[in-house]
Amino acid sequence: MSSHTKRNTDPPYTPHFDVPDHKLAGIRLFDMMHSIPNDDAADRFYAAEKENIDDTGLLEAGGFDASSQWDFFELPDDGK
C-alpha cells in the first residue's frame, strides 16, 4: 500500500470530563415511569367540574377589566 492511498483518520474523541451512562439513565427513567400505576379517574371528575365554573371573579382577581376598550386600527380590505 502506497503512502498516498492511506487515509489519515483522527483519533476518537475523548472528553475531558465524566460522561454519564445515558443507556443506564434511560433504563432507570423508564422503570420509574412504569413502576406506579396512575389512576386518572379523578381527572375526569375535575375536568367535568371545570366546565361549570363561573370564572368572572377569577378574571377580575387577575386584573381583567371588562369595561376597558382596546385601541384597534382599521385594516384595509384585501386587494382594494
pLDDT for residue 65 is more than 60: yes
Q: What is the rounded CA–CA span in Å between residue 67 and residue 59?
A: 13
pLDDT for residue 35 is more than 80: yes
Q: What is the rounded CA–CA span in Å between residue 56 and residue 59?
A: 5
pLDDT in tens, 15-31: 888 888 899 999 999 99
Q: Could you tell me the CA-to-CA distances from 1 to 5, 7, 8, 9 in Å, in that order? A: 7, 11, 14, 16
Helix ranges (DSSP H) in 1-80: 22-33, 41-50, 56-61
- As a whole number, the mean pLDDT across the chain is 77
Q: What is the rounded CA–CA span in Å between residue 38 and residue 32?
A: 12
